[in-house]
Structure 1
Amino acid sequence: MTTTPVARRVTKALGLTAVAATVLAVVLLSPLVLEGISGSRGVDWNRLSQVGAAYGFTSAIVSALALAGVALSLIVQNRQARAEQIQAIRSYYLELVRLELDDQALFQPVWGATDIVDPDDQKRHVYADLMMNYAWMGFEIGTISESLLRDMVAGMFSGRAGREYWSRAHPSWTARSSASRVGRRFVSVVGEEHARAVAIGPPPRAPRPSGRPPAPAPRVPRRWQAPAGALIGLGSGLALGSLLRRRR
């Protein structure tokens, strides 16, 4: 089973905290352990204080490491909680988009006027927006690398619908992703792949599906079919005339 980068960071932080706590406990208990090893019965606190002063610098370093581990663990937990909140908001957004796709003529005017006239093009625009949000979410949390992101959007921009979507949605993506370094990098990568696809040339136009079965091709009569039909008709007429004369 694969683990996410957030889970790996949490595990690493907890491991460092446990190691720091163990080392700190060993340092604090080492005077008593040394006393037991030496075999002395009474506790000479002056001597122990001198030993403790010798361990003071090491104890301060270990304490600082333990505090840093706790702080790192809290930071990772905060990021994980924020990622879960973002995931919940985007799940709600996906539900709204599904409602729009189910009855686009009813819900699409809520978003305002659009220059996309064809209903099929409107659905392609919404679907492309879902794909771009999926790529953004994976890139943000680390499950989609930059090379995979480039491969995804390169395939998307190889067609007309993907290019038209980014041409329309690029300003909004720039506005909402400019607040974070990851967001700016995402927009930069997608913009580079879009420019590269446009530089290659216009995409091939796919035939529009009509929803009707193709009409059968007209049958071309062969050259020998007309004379053969005439001979068959003549023979049938002669046979029918001979049969009628015999009956008379």
Structure 2
Amino acid sequence: MDWNQLGQIGAAYGFTSAIVSALALTGVAASLLVQNRQGRADQVQAIRSYYLELVRMELDDMPLYQPCWGDMDIADPHEQKQHVYADLMMNYAWMGFEVGTIPESLLRDMLAGMFTGEAGRTYWSRAGTSWIASASGSRRGRHFLTIVGEEHDRAAAAAPPTRSIVTSSPSGGAASGTSRAWRTPVGILIGLGAGLVAGSALRGRRY
């Protein structure tokens, strides 16, 4: 028996086994890293969804819920709602850009439209500092802020902001409750009438 040859064969198998073990450990580490990132992404998404729900509640009744966020240096009720809605738009753009569903070309197009109006520019002048503080911690966030700044400056240099004339009164508080109070029975009556008409015209048909 050639012990030298057997030793060489054993060393070869040992080297192969070490390579396989290293690849297996690398796969496990990569899997754990992906799971950790996915868990982190799920947590961030849950927090943002909760935040969006809070903002929707605020928009439904600004006089009731807005003071819970602190004093707002905006007196006009329409401008208050525009500010909150613009914040929702910016968060939507940021989340879409962060996960890759909104490419840079679409993001620039959205921001170009937003910053043509006075409401969009006013929002960024008020909230830009907070955005810089919150989104500048990552490379993706800094890139997003760069795009927003470029589109804002481009729109400001191109033309004065357009001002929208709002004629309807903002819904909220008692006005909102009154509106919902009469809309419900009227909607039911309209629905019943439309159902009777549609039923007589389509009787006998199967879908």
The root-mean-square deviation of aligned C-alpha atoms, in Å, is 2.2
For structure 1, the 5+ residue unaligned runs are 1-43, 212-248
Rounded to whole Å, the distance in 1 between the matches of 2:119 and 2:22 is: 56
Residue 191 of structure 1 corresponds to 149
Tell me what 1:181 maps to: 139
Partner SS state of residue 93, structure 2: helix
Distance in 2 (alpha carbons) for counterparts of 1:55 and 1:208: 79
Aligned residues: 168
The letter of the residue matching 1:77 is: Q
User: Which protein has the larger Cα radius of gyration, Structure 1 or Structure 2?
Assistant: 1
State the alpha-carbon separation in 2 of the partners of residues 48 and 71 from structure 1: 34
Distance 1:137 1:210, change over 3 A: closer
For 1:140, the equivalent position in structure 2 comes to: 98
Q: How far did residue 204 of structure 1 move? A: 2.7
* 2:38 equivalent to 1:76: no
Name the residue aligned to 1:4: none
Equivalents in 2 of 1:142, 1:136: separation in Å? 10
Structure 2: distance between partners of 1:153 and 1:54: 61
Deviations 1:42-91 (A, max 9, x none): xx998655323124434433332322222111111101000100111111
Q: 1:192-221: per-residue Cα shift (whole Å, max 9, x none)? A: 11111111121233333358xxxxxxxxxx
Match of 1:90 among 44, 48, 58: 48
Q: 1:113: how far off?
A: 2.2
Contact 2:119 2:163 in 1 (8 A): no
**Alignment match, 1:153:** 111
Change (3 A) 1:45 1:107: farther
In the TM superposition, residue 166 of structure 1 has moved relative to its aligned partner by: 0.9
3-state SS of 2:101 partner: coil
Runs of 4+ in 1 over 4 A off after TM superposition: 44-49
Hey, what does 2:172 align to over in structure 1?
Answer: none
2:69 to 106, 111, 131: 111
The residue aligned with 1:120 is: 78
Matched AA of 2:154: R
User: Quick check: 2:118–2:161 contact (8 Å CA) kept in 1?
Assistant: yes
Task: Write the mapping of 1:48-59 to structure 2, written as runs, cut at 5 A.
Answer: 49-59=7-17
- Which structure 2 residue ranges, 5 or more long, are not aligned? 170-207
Q: Distance in 1 between matches of 2:125 and 2:26?
A: 46
1:80/1:53 CA distance change after superposition, 3 Å: same
CA 1:210–1:126 in 2, change beyond 3 Å: closer, same or farther? Answer: closer
